[in-house]
Amino acid sequence: MITSTKPPAQEHLLRKAIFIAVAATVCITVVSVASAHDVFAQTRNPFDVGITEGGGQATGITGWILAKQIYFERMLSGAVRAIKTDRSALWTLLGLSFTYGVFHAAGPGHGKAVVASYMLANERALQRGITLSFVAAILQGLVAVALVSILALLLNVTSQRMRDVANLVEVASYAGIAALGAWLVWRKGSALLAVLRRHAPDIGPTPALAGATLGADVHIHGHDDHAHHRHAHDHDHDHHGHHDHAHGASVAAVDPHHVHDEHCGHYHAPDPSTLGANFSWGSALATVLAAGARPCSGAILVLVFALAQGLFLAGVAATFAMSLGTALTTGALAATAVFAKDIALKMSGGDSMRSLLLVRLFEFGAACLVLLLGASLFLGASVGGA
Amino acid sequence: MRFGCLGTLCRAAALSALFTTGFTAAALAHPHVFVTVKSSVVFGPDGKVTGVRQSWTFDDMYSAFATQGLGADPAKLPDELKALAKVNVEQLEEASFFTFLRINGRKQSEFSPAVDYNVTLDKDKIVTLSFTVPLKSPTAPGKAMVLQVTDPSYFVAFDFEKDKPVTLENAPGGCSLNLIQPSGLSAADQQRLKDVMNTNDSPGQDFGFKLASRAIIACP
């Protein structure tokens, strides 16, 4: 029941400052959290297979997982060997590989980060996010198979040459992530700015925002008079705690798709059946490429080992079983991204203007993450690999 | 009401920070290469430690990777293995050979380039890489010299061999060698891990140490 006594213009400025501060905080948090966990430290390991892998400390629970994985990898190579004498061991290998994919993907990896950030930045349909995760994981398997088929099976090059090529693929995929991130930052940044500008009374119609809100594509028609409405009803809104109440309630009751925010900006939420009309194949493809172009070390190792045992096809089968396992974990993360955004929106109390701002902030933060991740991985790998 | 709005934004920021932490802090160790270690601490005539001789045997998967494309012409294999050893020790130098020495509490990991390096294959084509890393400044081990072989990034999991993993070469009389090896986790520790798995707590600082191996050498 607090009523605002500040002049509206001052309030706008204050809000704008808060929004920008929050956006900056999210970005800074991302950088500091990531750097604290050495995500960006990418020195080449003398025994890597051309792909840099993040690691963890052997303290606490990770040390225990480490001990388990020693056992686990022995089982994987043992299963490949067993196929020589017993063909039914293939099922054991596939089961192990699938599990390996599930748990291995639970570790740090930019693929997950890219898909999750994409989901945060775009808020597409959940099903599509899961599909993207699967396609990215299958692509990851395909790249590993192609790499080993061409280099080891056909050309029979040495491990050092394989490392060089795998490293090139990796650096290229990092560049792809950075490019995707830059594009997302530009798009989501302008969307965020557009929302922020709606607070300034001297700005004209806001262009339709890219992306979607609450899973639906939303078109916002800016109105020159929105600021005036806001001023007139400000007191009323605060009193009732319903920011869209005074002006929009009657309209919203008649047409649930047509709601007004406190600024009288008109949201035109389309019928759910038209959902996806705004779906960009380009950005989906870019995400799949960015998340899946870099093969996983485990797959390369299994493939080369299977080849050495004269069981290359078993290695290929194992690789795709791993991909399915990875897809499961990445898909779950994509779902979490959507739910996290949903929860944040629910916490905003159903106020459409706040919700929109939250969505834009989330999206911008996620876009920042993709750019930072790509840029630092690219720089780290090209420096570390040199 | 203004405060309500601010609070929402704070919560949103907190939530996004939390989420970001979620997928960056989930930095689980995931080694891809497993090495069984045999080390030998080499002493000079003056009783000072001059270097460490390493013999690392790799797991079957990495062995297959490392020897990929080698031996197409069996006559060339020895040269190819020598070249492989050379590349390995050169790259290992940047990682300070994953060899960590502490003499009387002071870090002593300044090494000269590796010497006497070679790669051997057993009948199953399992790779063993051997090399000696000379200390830049030979030092007497004194009351406590600690040797650890580990990859801090845990891409490679190093483990001391079960039988006589560390030996002393030309050590003066009276030197002792103690090995603190991971003894595996007790039933109580396993239960503690299961408990913290559900609560997401840390199982405690001492857990990592329980799984790390070190050799402690003491000389009079």
Contacts of A304 in chain B (CB under 8 A): 61, 64-65, 68
Task: Please report whether residue B178 resides in a domain.
Answer: yes
| H or E segment and range at residue B196 | helix B187-199
Write out chain A residues lying below 8 Å of B121, CB-based: none
Rounded Cα gap, residues A62 and A75, in angstroms:
20
Higher pLDDT, A230 or A282: A282
Cα distance between residue A169 and residue A139, in whole Å: 13
The nearest CA of chain B is from the CA of A285 a distance in Å of: 22
E strand or H helix at B81, and its extent? helix B77-94
CB–CB of A55/B32 below 8 Å?
Answer: no
Give the closest of A4, A76, A158 to B2, CB-based.
A4
Each residue of A27-85: pLDDT tens digit? Answer: 555 555 554 444 444 457 888 877 766 544 444 555 555 555 556 667 888 899 999 89
Going through B6-126 in order, the beta strands assigned E by DSSP cover 33-43, 49-58, 99-103, 106-107, 115-121
Is the residue at B20 inside a domain? no
8 Å CB contact of A362 and B12: yes
For A177-208, the pLDDT digits (tens) are: 888 888 888 888 888 888 888 755 443 444 33
Does the beta-carbon distance from A47 to B62 stay under 8 Å?
A: yes
- From chain A, pick out residues whose CB is under 8 angstroms from the CB of B69: 152, 156-159, 161-162
Q: Which two tokens stand for residue B205?
A: 């600082």
Give A11's pLDDT tier (boundaries 50, 70, 90).
low
Give the Cα separation of A370 and A118 in Å (integer): 8
Q: Is the ipTM of this complex over 0.85?
A: no
Average pLDDT over chain B reads 79
Q: How does residue A367 score in pLDDT terms, banded at 50, 70 and 90? A: confident
Q: Which of A33, A152, A344 minimises the CB distance to B12?
A: A344
B3, part of any domain: no
pLDDT in tens, A231-287: 434 344 344 433 333 333 333 333 334 433 333 333 333 333 333 334 577 778 888
Residue A97 near residue A323 (C-beta atoms within 8 A) = no
Extract the tokens encoding A178: 């950075």
Indicate if the pLDDT at residue A165 is higher than 60.
yes
pLDDT of res. B179? 87
| Best CA proximity match to B151, nearest among B197, B90, B96 | B96
Structural domain contains residue B180: yes
Nearest CA in chain B to A347: B8
Q: Coil, strand or helix: which one is A202?
A: coil
- pTM tops 0.90, yes or no: no
pLDDT in tens, A310-337: 999 999 999 999 999 989 888 888 888 7
Contact A59 B207 (CB under 8 A): yes
Rounded to the nearest 10°, the torsion over CA A315, A320, A323, A328 is: -130
- CB proximity list for A374: less than 8 A, separation 6 or greater: A110, A174, A175, A176, A177, A178, A179, A180, A181, A182, A290
**Is B62 among the domain residues?**
yes
Mean pLDDT for the stretch of residues A168-173 = 88
Is there a contact between A340 and B19 if contact means CB atoms under 8 Å apart? yes
**CA–CA separation, A76 and A305 (whole Å):** 10
Query: Which is nearest to A192 in space by CA: A26, A377, A372, A326?
Result: A26
Does the beta-carbon distance from B211 to A66 stay under 8 Å? Answer: yes
For A235, name the nearest residue in chain B, comparing CA atoms only.
Answer: B1
Most confident range, picked from A115-129, B28-42, B154-168, B196-210: B154-168
When pLDDT is cut at 50, 70 and 90, the band that residue A20 belongs to is low
Residue A228 vs residues A49, A202, A231, A234, B74: alpha-carbon distances, Å? 63, 11, 5, 10, 87
Domain count, chain B: 1
Q: Tokens for A180?
A: 């995707």
Band (pLDDT 50/70/90 cuts) for residue A123 is low
Q: Within a domain: residue B14?
A: no
Paired strand residues for A195: none
CB contact under 8 Å between B25 and A333, yes or no, is no
Residue A114's pLDDT is what? 75
How many A×B Cβ pairs under 8 Å?
Answer: 261
Give the range of the structural domain holding residue B174, as residue numbers without chain letter: 27-218
Give residue B201's pLDDT.
47
pLDDT at B111 over 80: yes
